[in-house]
Structure 1
Amino acid sequence: MSLLEVDDLTVTYRTGGGDVPAVRGVSFALEAGQKLGLAGESGCGKSTMALALLRLLPKTARLTGEIRFDGEDILTMSWGRLRAVRWAGASIVFQGAMHSLNAVQRIGAQIAEPIRLHSKATEAEIRRKTGELLEHVGLPARRADAYPHELSGGQRQRVMIAMALACDPKLIVADEPTTALDVMIQAQILTLIESLVAEQDISLLMISHDLSVLADTCDRLAVMYAGRIVEEGPAAAVFGAARHPYGQALAAAFPRIGDPASRRRPQGLAGDPPDPAELPTGCAFHPRCPARLDHCDRVDPALWPTADDDRRAACVHVLPDEGLSLLTKEPA
């Protein structure tokens, strides 16, 4: 049994203008100790997915499907059981530490709070563990008395990681943990996350728009577009030779070091992601797809195993001939 199993998850937001689908039938599994990256452009549903895993979405969100964590369905848990799972079973590193930390509370108190709620430790033990966590993420224990505004962006992100580790979880969900950081600090934070996950045998779901970061950090990679996973497989293989045209476009957007031609002529992707409230018919990517076929505006393939390796892609180009003929056959 996988540590985390997501089965046919949909998330729909109720708005004044009608229902808006943000996540559409997503399924994946995460094994104990495994690192899975979730990539895609802004608006594809990545952060909604992250918040759904611990039921942190607003009341306007309607969820269906299953999210099984350690054999229990998150979506049917009582509030008491869910509070016990948060932090102690699975924790989250939010995007933008300055907005996630309490500006008027010292960081030591914020790290101590989940320990106090989820353990029977004494105050002395809590203070000692708080200092140990800060040192574990590369900050002196004395910084526990600092307020968030007294720390740099990279230091605040380290505090967020310390909070995520406070109750020894089995799973960490990192939602764009390095977006607001410069390249050098980003590299330090990614190295820190990777080493801590390996040392403590924690599973990691890392979410980012940066395919190269995920390829370097994660074992497997899933690519999202318009609320669906359109490709999934070994991280290096998906980044190096994506099978779905969208994955290919994301990978091609990164210039290759030592290749002047790719630096001078970066490859982008024309157009914008679709409005979730007005998704195109058929494959949602077909209006932007450079490899679209005549029937892509009415065929919306599910994830399908590719022919020669351990991955899946939701594209007619990976379907076998007999599967493609069934999908494109005109109704009688």
Structure 2
Amino acid sequence: MTQPGRAPEARPDKAPTAQLLDIRNLTVTYRTGGGPLPAVRGVDLSLAAGQKLGLAGESGCGKSTLAASVLRLLPPGTTTTGEILLGGEDVLTMGWSRLRAVRWAGASIVFQGAMHSLNPVRRIAHQIAEPILLHDKVSETLAHERVAVLLEQVGLAAARASAYPHELSGGQRQRVMIAMALACSPNLIVADEPTTALDVMVQAQILRLIGDLVAAQGISLLMISHDLAVLAQTCDRLAVMYAGRIVEDGPAHQVFTDGRHPYTRALAAAFPRIGDPSSRRAPHGLPGDPPDPTALPTGCAFRPRCPLAIETCAHVDPALSVAGPGRAAACVHVTSVPTGGER
């Protein structure tokens, strides 16, 4: 999306791999009592077949809106423009019958908070079997055999199939959500902060499980989180989102350890380094709050919180520019932000 003071965006250089998901100039605007609320503003993002892409940013930056857009799960009254190409087909222009076929079988979503996503009055087996029966058109016997295999894949005993959601722990419920996402062998899984409500040990187990399963089955993964460290460990690529736009994109470990955008560097610095007492006693926070989407500052949206802001930033809303091999950042300092080396 080209705006006054903006040049056309440049995507990071990528190898000529097939793009399973290609989001082009996506804008999402909610209708509210106070007027239009722009949640996603001109996002370009792609995901290659078999690749794991992380999407990071603070609460309210548009991550979950972007995730819901992939399968058109946004509430009524939302205005969406641009293109979301899934396997070459535009999700935004699909008819309902085609969209129903694509959901679960083409792409599936693991939501945060499994207790709110699972039906509390239906047994686990019935909930996992439902998409299999709907999309694969198999007998109930074969569907429930598949359920047993899926539960084993996510580390749950087949006997848990008869349980109700409230009889499972938080980690077990999240494993059920992963089994449901895998039920129809999709090409893409969108994981929207799947470990938010879990303790650190269970979180690590779930993340390892997701990573192992998508790698073993060749599934593409779009993992959404506010935790850069989690995404750096789990994903191949990492995109950072701020105020509805992508501000950095590149190889996950490089983005985490050597961010080219000041916002990325601030997020990475907020994580204490294990074994470094100074970082534990004096953590580096990010001052201020994300901007109100209905009243964004002129120029760069990050300017009021940026330690490197200059006068140009008040007038120019920078587009993504090449910031190294396979990397891009939206900052006027993209060629001069000092590198921090390995963390």
Structure 1 unaligned residues grouped into runs of 5+: 321-332
Give matches, 1:88-237, under 5 Å: 88-237=105-254
Q: Deviations over 1:169-196 (max 9, x none)?
A: 0000000000000000000000000000
Q: Normalization by structure 2: what TM-score?
A: 0.92
Which structure exhibits the higher relative contact order, with contacts defined as CA atoms closer than 8 Å and separated by 6 or more residues? 2
Residue 309 of structure 1 and its aligned partner are, at CA, apart by 2.9
Q: Which amino acid aligns with 1:31?
A: A
For 1:1-332, list aligned pairs within 5 A: 1-306=18-323, 308-318=324-334
Secondary structure of residue in 2 paired with 1:3 = strand
The amino acid across from 2:325 in the alignment is D
Give the conservation status (yes or no) of the 8 Å contact 1:15–1:60.
no
In the aligned structure 2, how far is the partner of 1:22 from the partner of 1:90?
22
State the alpha-carbon separation in 2 of the partners of residues 204 and 184 from structure 1. Answer: 22
Query: Which protein is richer in helix relative to its size?
Result: 1
What per-residue deviation string (whole Å, max 9, x for no partner) do you get for residues 102-146 of structure 1?
011111100000001001211110110011111110001111110
Q: Which amino acid aligns with 2:289?
A: D
The residue type equivalent to 1:24 in the other structure is R
1:166 corresponds to which letter in structure 2?
A
Which whole-Å CA distance do the structure 2 matches of 1:27 and 1:319 have between them? 21
TM-score normalised per structure 1: 0.95
Root mean square deviation, CA, Å: 0.9
Change (3 A) 1:319 1:301: farther
Unmatched tracts of structure 2, length 5 or more: 1-17, 337-343
Decide whether the 8 Å contact of 1:304 with 1:319 is kept in 2: no
AA aligned to 1:311 is R
Contact 1:245 1:291 in 2 (8 A): yes
Whichever residue aligns with residue 115 of structure 2, its letter is M
Tell me the distance in 2 between the aligned counterparts of 1:213 and 1:15. 33
Measure how far apart 1:319 and its partner are: 5.5
